[in-house]
């Protein structure tokens, strides 16, 4: 079972029919809340030396990648462990998921290339769930049915 399929299976099992109760929304919403919103998260990335990467996610150009180790450095192991515990997944999976999907999520939360303090982040995150889950399923290797 791949890393992403593990995350996908966990999230799928917990998501139910209510997109606002989706663990992805919860995880990303909690991350933003704990960090002081997009501005606070941007400050964390800047203080850890990854401000240029975060700025690329906000801007209208290509998003710079970030690694799971860099996510750990920015957020700290306690915050990653807390986010992972809320999802019931390993902290390494949470770091990998954030590394793969946080750049695109921040990009979509800032469609005009800037942070809008009046934007409804929770609503936007809820709208991103199908996209994120779609990316997870698209990147999960399909196994042929048993014969």
Q: What is the mean pLDDT of the chain?
A: 79
Dist. CA 86–CA 74, nearest whole Å: 19
Domain ranges of the chain: 3-139
Percent of the chain beyond pLDDT 70?
72
Kindly report, residue by residue over 98-130, the tens digit of the pLDDT: 998 899 889 989 988 999 888 888 788 887 767
Taking CB atoms within 8 Å and a gap of at least 24, the contacts of 45-50 are 45/74, 48/73, 48/74, 50/74
Dist. CA 5–CA 78, nearest whole Å: 24
Dist. CA 48–CA 68, nearest whole Å: 14
The predicted model scores a pTM of 0.75
Which superfamily, per CATH, for 3-139? Answer: YidB-like (1.10.10.690)
pLDDT above 70 for 12 = no
Kindly report, residue by residue over 49-88, the tens digit of the pLDDT: 999 999 999 999 999 999 999 999 999 999 999 888 888 8
């Amino acid at each position: 079972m791949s890393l992403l399929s593990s995350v996908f299976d966990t999230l799928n099992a917990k998501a139910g029919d209510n997109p606002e109760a989706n663990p992805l929304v919860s995880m990303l919403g909690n991350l933003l809340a704990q960090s002081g919103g997009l501005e606070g998260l941007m400050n964390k990335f800047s203080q850890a030396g990854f401000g240029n990467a975060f700025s690329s996610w906000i801007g209208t150009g290509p998003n710079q990648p970030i690694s799971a180790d860099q996510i750990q450095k920015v957020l700290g192991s306690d915050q990653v462990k807390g986010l992972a515990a809320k999802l019931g997944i390993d902290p390494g999976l949470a770091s990998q998921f954030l590394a793969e999907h946080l750049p695109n999520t921040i990009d979509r939360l800032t469609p005009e290339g800037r942070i809008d303090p009046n934007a409804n982040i929770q609503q936007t995150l809820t709208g991103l769930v199908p996209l994120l889950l779609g990316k997870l399923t698209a990147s999960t290797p399909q196994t042929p049915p048993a014969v």
